Amino acid sequence: MKGNYHQYYVYILSNKKNGTLYIGMTNDLERRIFEHKKKLVEGFTKTYSLDKLIYFEHYHYVNDAIKREKQLKNWNRQWKIDLIEKENTDWNDLSSDWKY
């Protein structure tokens, strides 16, 4: 995954299909998801056990990722659900086979 350019990710977590949603941004998706799964991140995701990666997008520039994160956070819930289900109908955990 690493190259001569930067990588940034906007991601959506949930706890179950049609459950609570959390939108975040990171420059290391695997590390960040590990932190969520191990409950190392204090706050909303820990409180609601949001540790299933159900959607993510990849960006080369941090400003693009920040802009997209803010955009998604302002969307209504149904738009977010439609975005998720366009690629992940069953809300499967996209990180379920990652090695930690």
* Mean pLDDT on 29-53: 95
User: 55-74: per-residue pLDDT in tens?
Assistant: 999 999 999 999 999 999 99
- Tell me the backbone φ, ψ of residue 39, rounded to 5 degrees: 60, 35
User: Hey, which CATH number is domain 8-87, 3.40.50.2000, 1.10.287.110, 3.40.1440.10, 3.20.20.70?
Assistant: 3.40.1440.10
Q: Where are the domains of the chain?
A: 8-87
Percent pLDDT > 90 in the chain is 90
Q: How many CB atoms lie within 10 A of CB 56?
A: 19
pLDDT at 13: 98
Model confidence at 4: pLDDT above 60: no
* Mean pLDDT on 73-83: 98
pLDDT at 100: 66
Going by pLDDT thresholds of 50, 70 and 90, the confidence category of residue 6 is: confident
The pTM of the full predicted model, rounded to 2 decimals, is 0.93
Sign of torsion, CA 75 15 88 94? Answer: positive
Model confidence at 40: pLDDT above 70: yes
